[in-house]
Each structure stands twice: as C-alpha cells, then as structure tokens.
Amino acid sequence: MRSPWRWMLVALLPLSLFVLWLNQRKDPHIERVLDHDFATGVIEDEAFQAELDAAGPGAVEAFRGELRRRFNPLLKAEQLAFDWFQSQGSTAFNNGYSPIQIFETRRGHALRGLILLGEQALPAQPDVEALSTSSQDSLGQGTAALCAMRPHDPAIISNAVAILRGNDTMRAHKLAFNFAKIWREPPPHLPALVATLTNKEEIVRSAALRSLARYGPKVRGHAAAIIPLLSDPSPSVRPLAAYALGHIEPSEAPRAIEAMLGEQEFNHGKSVGWIGLEPYKLYGELGPVARAAVPRLEQQFVDRSLESQRGPVAFALWRVTGDSSARITEALTKGAESRIERFRLLSLRGLIEIGPAASNAVPVLRRVAQDPRVLIQRLADEALRSITRTAGTDPR
C-alpha cells in the first residue's frame, strides 16, 4: 500500500505552484511596505512614499485587497501552530511574530498607504468603512485614512475635531499622529490639534508634537503651547517637545537644545520607550546653532553602547561643526549599511552633503545601491555621484 503522504504531496503540488504564481503577480513595491521587516524598525514615510510612487496607480487596489482579507481558517490554523510551538519553547517561527500580529500589521500598513495617498485613495472608502478588526490600532488608522481621502469635507473635519476633543484615545492618537499628513498645510481647525497637547494620555500628546514639528515654522504662533511640555511628567513626551519647539520657533533653539541635552542625560542607559533619533535630527537641522550639543555628541561618538547609532551621531557632528574627517565619513559609511532604515537614510544624506571627502564610502555605496528599496537605492546613487563629481569617473 502506498503511503498517504505521497498522495498528499501530489495533491498539494498544484496548490503550491498556484501560490508561487500568485506571489509573482504581486507588486514588489507594495509587498515591501506591507511585509516590512520588523527587525529594520518603522519604515519612514519618505521611504514608504517612494515605494508608492514606483508602484503607480495600482497601489490603491492592492491596499483595498489587503483590507478585504479575513483571518480565514488557514490563518487560524497557522495561529494554533504558532501558539503550540511557542508553548514548547520552539523557534520554528523565528521572527517571533504571530500570524495574527502579521495580519494586523499588513492591514495597518495598507491603511498607512491610503493615508499617504490621500484623495487618490478615495475609491477605497467603502473598504475602510467596512473594516472589521480586533486591533484598535487599525481602527484608529482607518479613521485617519477616511479623513485623508476627503480632507476638505466639512462633515469629515467636524468628526475629526470631535475625535481630537473626545475620549477615544486610539482614534485621537492616530488622528493627531497623521494630522500633518492629512492636512499638508496648517488648516483652520489646527487649534483642535494644539488642544491635544493637554490630553491626559501621553501617546496623544506625543503624536500631536510630531505633527506640529512636521509643520515647522508654519505654526510658529503655537510655540507657547509646547514650552510647558518640556517639563511633562512623561519621559517620552519631553524629548518630542524639545524637538518640536526647535523646529517651530528658531528663536527658541537654545532652549530646545538645552532641554534635549537634559533629556539625553536623563535617559542615558535607561529604556523609556522613545527611539532616540530626534536629538541628532534636531541638532543636525539647527546646524552651528547647536554647538552646545557638541560635547555630548563627541561623548556619544566614542560610547561603545551607542555604536549602532554612530551614523546619526556623525551626521549631527557634520552638520553642527562641518567636520568631514575620516572618522565622520567612516561612521556614516557604516551607518549606510545599518539594519535600521532611518539610520541608513540619515547616514546616506550625510555622505551626499560631504561629497568628495567621503571617497572611502564608495565601495559600500556600490553595494547599497543594489538595495531593492527605492529610496535607499536613490540616495546611494546620489551619494556616489556627489562623491565622484570632481573626478569625472563613473560612480558605478
């Protein structure tokens, strides 16, 4: 008698071939933002947008298809298998994320894509409205996506203001976080966002600060509402308050720098739930004005525990001091290959600005230029051109 496993394999072969064919038909740009590797950190908006631009008009339909997916019996079986392997201490699922988490993450990324597409995503409105999910995060993203699709609709605006003033924390958080992406210019209802700076939930206050920082000097008149948050009870809010203040009000740059330095001192060696890139971006964007930060940056540059962040530290030192020595370019070169995407982007921009003095980065940049991600490849190419521009040679 023949083994039943043989017949099972024969039966599964056509299905496997079909799945392989189906995967080949998926747009790689869309799959890159939906299946973003958890180990590389949060995908940056500009990197996400670059993939959307490369995907073209098919992006909306791809995201609609993702929203229509349901947690079907096959996914439930995978979840049961995950739970069993986890209970046995197995590493069979070596990414550590369950099928439910991956399902919800893909859905959340699809909603994020619709937010970035804005009014172009209007055909997806019925799918967002019909969204059924166990994730409060996705529900909040869905609310923001509906606002992005119809940003000038009075009913949408009225609802958004009510959410920001209400008690639904997750929706208020997601709306505050995406506010400046939905309304690219400060809208008349901006005071509703500013009012969330006094929200009792720190995630809402933090989200509002990020959006205000995104507007920069366009919302200069609201800097006074940010200053009290420099002494907020939350160690996650205070650095973002310094970051936002430095972006919004140039005359407050010394206060913002002093506050950020204080937060770095407070957070040194602690885990407080904030990512730690804002200081380097703030100092780098303020440039020579941030000279008070140089001693701290120099200290961090040689700190072995911060070696993974040396690229962003080098970027800030370059911007503040103009130092383009070998130690800076070597740190930026290493940062260009960092596992964390946002570190890579900052490091690549530093190499672009330094130009020919960063010639030691060329071999690494040639490798990085082969990265499938659109923005990484584009910045690596730009860095190669900048570095070799005086030599008259082919950067490739």
- Neighbouring CB atoms inside 10 A of 291's CB total 13
Q: Which of 380, 374, 379 is nearest to 55 (CA)?
A: 374
H or E, element range at 254: helix 253-267
Q: Which of 280, 259, 263 is nearest to 272 (CA)?
A: 263
Going from the C-alpha of 308 to that of each of 96, 302, 311, the distances in angstroms are: 22, 11, 7
Structure tokens at 377: 């490849």
* Per-residue pLDDT at 83: 60
**Backbone phi, psi, residue 69, to 5°:** -65, 145
* Per-residue pLDDT at 27: 87
Q: Which of 116, 140, 261, 112 is nearest to 204 (CA)?
A: 140
Tokens 């310094």, residue located: 242
Q: Map out the domains of the chain as residue ranges.
A: 40-73+97-150, 275-396
Separation of alpha carbons 33 and 28, rounded Å = 9
- Neighbouring CB atoms inside 10 A of 74's CB total 9
* Per-residue pLDDT at 12: 45
* Per-residue pLDDT at 138: 77
* Per-residue pLDDT at 90: 58
Structure tokens at 60: 């909306």
Going from the C-alpha of 39 to that of each of 123, 243, 272, the distances in angstroms are: 33, 25, 19
Q: Which of 103, 105, 100, 58 is nearest to 82 (CA)?
A: 100
Q: Which of 175, 186, 120 is nearest to 147 (CA)?
A: 175
Q: Which of 214, 161, 224 is nearest to 186 (CA)?
A: 214
* Per-residue pLDDT at 394: 43
Q: What is the DSSP string of 4-26?
A: HHHHHHHHHHHHHHHHHHHHHHS
Going from the C-alpha of 95 to that of each of 36, 42, 92, 101, 186, the distances in angstroms are: 12, 16, 9, 11, 40
**Backbone phi, psi, residue 150, to 5°:** -135, 65
pTM (2 d.p.): 0.85
* Per-residue pLDDT at 302: 95
pLDDT tens for the chain, residues 1 to 396? 445 545 544 444 454 444 444 444 578 999 988 876 666 667 899 999 999 999 998 999 999 999 988 765 555 566 566 665 666 565 555 556 776 777 788 899 999 999 999 999 999 999 999 886 656 767 889 999 999 999 999 999 999 999 999 999 999 999 999 999 999 999 999 999 999 999 999 999 999 999 999 999 999 999 999 999 999 999 999 999 999 999 999 999 999 999 999 998 876 655 444 447 899 999 999 999 999 999 999 999 999 888 889 999 999 999 999 999 999 999 999 999 998 899 999 999 999 999 999 999 999 999 999 999 999 999 999 999 999 976 444 433
In the chain, count H helices and then E strands. 22, 0
